[in-house]
Amino acid sequence: MPYQFNFDLSKLPSKILKKFYNSIMQKGLHHRSKEIALKLARKLKLDEILEIQLEDAAQLIVDLMDIAYLNSYYKRNFAQSDRRALLLPHCARKYMDNRCKAKFDENIPTYYCSHCSEDCLVNQGSSLGVKYGYDIYVIPGSACVKKILQSGAYNGVVGVACPMEIKLAGETLRNLNNVAGQAVILTKNGCSNTSFDLRELERVLALKSD
Ligand code: SF4
Ligand code: SF4
């Protein structure tokens, strides 16, 4: 489910981005109210930098707090998982039309990347998934997450998506009860030409218990 607004976190200078994530990760901040998110958004001038409404910036912060909390909740079990899937968002493909040569399986539904473009983020993310032993799905939305996880008998999943979709997938994980997940948020949403951070994806894909 898309937001009613678009964001591009790459507009945040790296110093502010670091401060932003540090603030989100502060112990206990997740449990506090949207009022705090509004204060933080105002303090960091997120509305001006991201060119979105202050309330939308606050919503983004609340959602990122929720996701940071979910990631930390599942981290230990995820690190122990041995059968993993990587779910990439179809909106990060280089092409959204028939120039994308991915095969579409409507039964799941998922795309399977055919690696037509080296500079396609989905292609690059898929290569990382292969490197770390993941089964890869390029999915059109969170509605198919349950089917994929159950049919593949996975016990670990990494999902890349916008915060709204990740939160929906998080509900699926809660209901399944036997799959641990880690989320990598899109740094730019908008349902086409979206972006995510490959280095962050690789860090998460590589998580293993010591
Ligand atoms: S590299 Fe894969 S996902 Fe990207 S446009 Fe080509 S077939 Fe589609
Ligand atoms: S930004 Fe991508 S992941 Fe989010 S709703 Fe749109 S298509 Fe789905």
Give the closest ligand to the alpha carbon of residue 126. 1
Q: In this structure, is residue 210 part of a structural domain?
A: no
Whole-number pLDDT of residue 206: 97
Q: Structural domain tally of the chain?
A: 1
Percentage of residues of the chain with pLDDT beyond 90: 74
Does residue 148 lie within any of the structural domains?
Answer: yes
- Report residues whose beta carbon is within 6 angstroms of any ligand 1 atom: 93-95, 100-102, 113-117, 120, 122-123
Looking from the CA of residue 123, the nearest atom of ligand 1 is 1
Query: Which residue from 65, 16, 83 is spatially nearest to 43, judged by alpha carbons?
Result: 16
Rounded to the nearest angstrom, the distance between the alpha carbon of 92 and the centre of ligand 2 is 9
pLDDT tens string 98-124: 999 999 999 999 999 999 999 999 999
- Model confidence at 5, pLDDT cuts 50, 70, 90, reads confident
Residue at 153 is within a domain: yes
Q: Residue with the nearest Cα to atom 3 of ligand 2?
A: 161
**Which residue's CA is minimally distant from atom 2 of ligand 2?**
191
180 falls within a domain = yes
Atom 1, ligand 2: residue with shortest CA distance: 191
Asked if the structure places residue 104 within a domain, the reply is yes
- Give yes or no for residue 48 having a pLDDT over 90: yes
Q: Which amino acid is at 209?
A: S
Contact 16, 49 (CB under 8 A): yes
Residues in the chain: 210
Tell me the pTM.
Answer: 0.89
Determine the distance separating the centroid of ligand 1 and the alpha carbon of 107, expressed in angstroms: 20
Helices 121-131 & 198-205 angle (0-180, nearest 10): 20
CB 52 within 8 A of CB 9: no
Note whether residue 4 is domain-resident.
no
Atom number, ligand 2, closest to the C-alpha of residue 3: 5
Exposed, middle or buried by CB within 10 Å (0-12, 13-18, 19+), for 22? Answer: exposed
More confident of the two residues 72 and 1: 72
Tell me which residue range forms the domain holding 153.
9-205
Report the separation in Å between the CA atom of 193 and the middle of ligand 2, taken as the mean of its atom positions: 10
Ligand 2 within 6 A of CB of 161: yes
1 within some domain: no
Q: CB neighbours (10 Å) of residue 33? A: 9
pLDDT (0 to 100) of residue 21: 65
Read off the pLDDT band of 9 (50, 70, 90): confident
Atom of ligand 2 nearest to the CA of 161: 3
Q: Is position 43 within any domain?
A: yes
